[in-house]
Structure 1
Amino acid sequence: MPRRRTLGALAATLVVLAPLGWFWQQSLVPDGLSAMDMGYADYGGGPSMPAGHHHGSSLADLKPAADRAADVSVRLVARKERFEIPGRGSMAGYTLNHTSPGPQITAKQGDLIEVTLVNESVPDGMTLHWHGVDVPAAEDGVAGITQDAVLPGQTFVYRFVAADAGTYWYHSHQLSHEQVKKGLYGVLVISPGTADVVAAVHTYDKVRTVNGGYGDRRVAGAPTVRLRLINTDNGPMAAWVDGAGYRVIAIDGTAVNAPTPVEGKSVLVTAGGRIDLEISLPPGKAVRIGLGGGPTTLVIGEGDAPTGREPTERVDLLSYGKPAALPFDPAKADRHFEYRIGRRPGFFAGKPGLWWTINGHQFPDVPVFMVAEDDVVTMTVKNTSGQVHPMHLHGHHVVVLSRNGVAASGSPWWTDSLNVEDDETYEIAFLADNPGIWMDHCHNLPHAAQGLVTHLMYEGITTPFHLNGATHNQPE
């Protein structure tokens, strides 16, 4: 009897452990995984791709003409080192040309920008992604998808045309949840004006900064300034103006049609997002920009600036401004996709926990959205995961059609970083006009590292790059 009880206990244990072992094994991300072999193809109701699409054109060839001279040339040397946060002290992290944020890059619309990245001492390798700039696929800077990580001692040259004026930023897309937080980012402004003021908000180890400095930071003003707000953090941020009204004149690099005056309201800048405000300074006075609350603010102009609290009302971008025609008809979409964000218990990369899902699947067994060039695409993004997600599609801007069933009624709301709250549903649309393989992920970067990422894949486009393996590519 004791032996029989022991055998029974062992059998019961195996019954419990065997499924757990299977789920653990299934959760491991294969070494050397290609985006082309990830998950399952979702054709969005459109025609499937012809067999053998893995033998098409390599995205590594999608780049500007090699014989065109650069209009703007920048050399960025990345290092692991300590750097100074004005008003707070020094911290250990990563720098570009010995500073964080890295040097601001400015260019005129139509310029060809050439950036030479030198990795002097970032041990895990790095890349540069041009957040919000619809670059050719080979220049997108995503380790394991569009290039290999640039390892210590290596150099990589990025070349792209600054086709669209606007406010953008750049950051590493190798171990981005760690490297961005610790300093590998900078500002990119295309077609700057003489009265521009940049406010790049970033949190280093719980210390919120603006333009790399802590506390009240002051800059010179003009009668009318264009404030370029950039949120480089992982969560949404409310911003407001104490001492003056403003107009929202651009969202994620795209101009707002017929912006109207705003008084006593904040505007939400989601993670990765950019909002441009036009502010008229009162004569002889300064204004203060509230940046999510706390001690770090930006004062523009001379003299005392009022100090206020975050307004209770917020600008609703769904109805702000006036309508204008779209360059395509979403009602005649070639494909419609669903991007349902959820969460469930289980294993991810061999670790137990609560993990993100896309359409009920965990990374890497997620849907890959398949398109052909010139397709009109609509997508329904629904979040029932319990947390907010700032969703970022590389290589494209999308237009918001509706939120929770309410149709957009203001200026076309073009965005590349969309704040999707829990229990919110957005319908968006875009034109598939930039061939490549593009990440579509949450820009709360730890969420992406936990599997909230998939890809938009064009017919006939392949990639020679892989995750992990000898190249150590880990984009999130």
Structure 2
Amino acid sequence: MTKKKSSKRLFKFGVPLLFLLLIGITISVYFWQIRLQKPQEINMADHLHSSGAVSATGMHDHSATAVPCEAIVAGETSGPVRQFDLTAARTVLQLDNGKTADAWTFNGSSPGPELRVKEGDRVVVMLRNKDIEDGVTIHWHGINVPCSQDGIAGVTQNAVQPGEQFTYTFVASAPGTYWYHSHQMSSIQAKKGLLGTIIVEPKEPSAQLSSVKDVSALYQQLGSTFLLNGSTKGLNVQGDAGDQVRLRLTNGGNETINFSVDGAPFQVFAMDGHDVHEPGLLDGVLIPIGAGQRYDLLIRLPESGKVVVRNQSAKSLPITLGSGSDPEPSNGGEMFSFVDYGTPMQDDPLRKLKPDRSFELKLGQSLFVNTINGRSFHEIPSMTVKEGESVLITLVNEGGGDHPFHFHGHTFRVLSKNGIPLKGSPVYLDTLLTKKDEIYEVYLEANNPGLWMAHCHNLGHASMGMSMMLNYEGITTPFRVGTKSGNLPDL
């Protein structure tokens, strides 16, 4: 066949195929946009669409026992009051690499100020919005606050508009490593810089930790720039041989980070703020930390040389502990597994667990939409429970990437992975990293009445549909999610 005939044949068949492909892409994008079109108004207490006819408190109005979320507030405590002011504002940040970044900040920085309180303190935070046009909130990730204080635009409050303010009040009841971020248009606002760390220190520190150097390390992605505690260059921690360092690693980005610890063995002391029972020494093991998760590592500095904690995922932003010569960098290694890490507790009451309710959540992807059980956003029926019930939830990652699944308002216990019961320490989390084809069973006590989001903490996945509700019977809300109110917690 001559080149001329070949070209004609290619034109004859290739152009129509290209045309059909473009039509297919156009139709797919059209239906994708329709699927993701934000509703005008949704009551997340009962998932009713509203065109103005639904009453202010939704379908449970006629129940004499109905309780509005905003009426569920912090209880009493004998601890002192710790007050903080956080102002959200548009800021041009001068980064330490010489570049500038247009950011949205708390008190002029990203991350915002680290808040340190003690177990039992009453925490009072005044949030002011200077000029964030779409409004802001603060969600206290991992802290089991009362429903009214969870900071979810359209569920627990309206987004705080420019010139407005909102006061959050809760009791710091559980020591651990936590963080905070805006939950109005969360996939946008967290990446623009509206996040920070909150540490709850134990009321009475253990003798083991009394002389430990305490270091927080918050990883985030500010636009296209990766930062560690606001720096583009990593973190250096001074120390002498024999010193112990408690390194609190927080993943404030959207992608899983694999960490290596080079130069000394270490322990995974806590996960998501909850201590591991009798953690063993690890060496040459990679620690995968999903979006939203926190891992506390306990490291003793060696007699000679440094310890370097490296982000294996991006080979950047190292954490250097101590001084001396650099250790050999890791080139891979076994992945950490909590299935058999630490030791079990004696007389574990959950060995004879009989749940009152069970749910299965299949995390997947359909075209351009991230789904739970094949549906997205408010189309997903809520998990509805009663206070006092024990709840068994099966999480199945069917694809579409890593899905670090986060439950608001609750700490859950991981019971099994891929059908294998956990053999080591009890593992309590608020965010569980799941990878493709993994299946987890988790146990949750319905002990915090309210209306709670449950979603993938890759906030891009949440904004694409992987977000639902865990609702208690009889709890209502006057707030609405949708374009009418401007409350868009997941966008």
Aligned partner of 1:229 in structure 2 is 249
Out of 463, 468, 474, the position equivalent to 2:477 is 463
Distance 1:27 1:90 in 2: 33
State the secondary structure of the residue aligned to 2:369. strand
User: 1:33, CA displacement in angstroms?
Assistant: 0.8
User: 1:407, CA displacement in angstroms?
Assistant: 1.2
**One-letter code of the match for 2:186?**
S
**One-letter code of the match for 2:230?**
G
Aligned partner of 2:335 in structure 1 is 314
State the secondary structure of the residue aligned to 1:364. helix
User: 1:186, CA displacement in angstroms?
Assistant: 0.4
State the secondary structure of the residue aligned to 2:88. strand
Distance 2:173 2:61 in 1: 34
| 1:442 equivalenced with 2:468 (yes/no) | no
Q: Deviation string for 1:151-181 (max 9, x for gaps)?
A: 1000010011100000000000001111101
Out of 354, 362, 366, the position equivalent to 1:344 is 366
Structure 2 counterparts to residues 250-261 of structure 1, below 5 A: 250-261=270-281
The answer (yes or no) to whether the contact 2:342–2:424 under 8 Å persists in 1 is yes
Distance 2:33 2:133 in 1: 30
| 1:219 equivalenced with 2:241 (yes/no) | no
Distance 1:55-1:23 versus aligned 2 partners, 3 A rule: farther
Q: Structure 1: where are the runs of 5+ without partners?
A: 1-16, 41-48, 346-353
Distance 1:154-1:245 versus aligned 2 partners, 3 A rule: same
Q: Deviation string for 1:198-249 (max 9, x for gaps)?
A: 1111122332221111124212236011110100010111112111110011
**One-letter code of the match for 1:338?**
E
The answer (yes or no) to whether the contact 2:74–2:145 under 8 Å persists in 1 is no
Distance 2:378 2:64 in 1: 18
Out of 90, 95, 101, the position equivalent to 2:105 is 95
Distance 1:318-1:88 versus aligned 2 partners, 3 A rule: farther
Distance 2:361 2:62 in 1: 26
**TM-score, normalization: structure 2?**
0.85
Distance 2:137 2:171 in 1: 18
User: 1:66, CA displacement in angstroms?
Assistant: 8.5
State the secondary structure of the residue aligned to 2:70. helix
Distance 1:442 1:22 in 2: 23
Aligned partner of 1:334 in structure 2 is 356
| 1:116 equivalenced with 2:126 (yes/no) | yes
> What is the percentage of aligned positions where both structures have the same residue?
37
| 1:378 equivalenced with 2:401 (yes/no) | no
| 1:274 equivalenced with 2:294 (yes/no) | yes
Out of 207, 228, 245, the position equivalent to 1:210 is 228
Distance 1:53-1:429 versus aligned 2 partners, 3 A rule: farther
Aligned partner of 1:350 in structure 2 is none
Aligned partner of 1:201 in structure 2 is 219
Distance 1:23 1:100 in 2: 33
Q: Deviation string for 1:338-357 (max 9, x for gaps)?
A: 10112223xxxxxxxx2122
**TM-score, normalization: structure 1?**
0.87
Aligned partner of 1:248 in structure 2 is 268
Aligned partner of 1:283 in structure 2 is 303
Aligned partner of 2:42 in structure 1 is 33
User: 1:303, CA displacement in angstroms?
Assistant: 3.2
Aligned partner of 1:392 in structure 2 is 406
Distance 1:372-1:440 versus aligned 2 partners, 3 A rule: same
Root-mean-square deviation over aligned CA pairs: 2.7
Distance 1:413-1:286 versus aligned 2 partners, 3 A rule: same
Distance 1:195-1:34 versus aligned 2 partners, 3 A rule: same
Distance 1:227-1:53 versus aligned 2 partners, 3 A rule: farther
Structure 1 window deviating more from structure 2 (274-283 vs 358-367): it is 358-367
Distance 1:201-1:264 versus aligned 2 partners, 3 A rule: same
User: 1:385, CA displacement in angstroms?
Assistant: 2.6
Aligned partner of 1:143 in structure 2 is 153
User: 1:394, CA displacement in angstroms?
Assistant: 0.4
State the secondary structure of the residue aligned to 1:464. coil
Distance 1:425-1:419 versus aligned 2 partners, 3 A rule: same
Q: Structure 2: where are the runs of 5+ without partners?
A: 1-25, 50-58, 203-209
**One-letter code of the match for 1:475?**
P
The answer (yes or no) to whether the contact 1:288–1:307 under 8 Å persists in 2 is no
Q: Deviation string for 1:247-305 (max 9, x for gaps)?
A: 01100010000100001111111100000011000135321111234231111123343
Q: Deviation string for 1:308-334 (max 9, x for gaps)?
A: 135321211111111125455663100
State the secondary structure of the residue aligned to 2:279. coil
Q: How many residues align?
A: 444
Distance 1:415-1:377 versus aligned 2 partners, 3 A rule: same
**One-letter code of the match for 1:298?**
I
Distance 1:327-1:435 versus aligned 2 partners, 3 A rule: farther
| 1:417 equivalenced with 2:431 (yes/no) | yes
State the secondary structure of the residue aligned to 2:191. coil
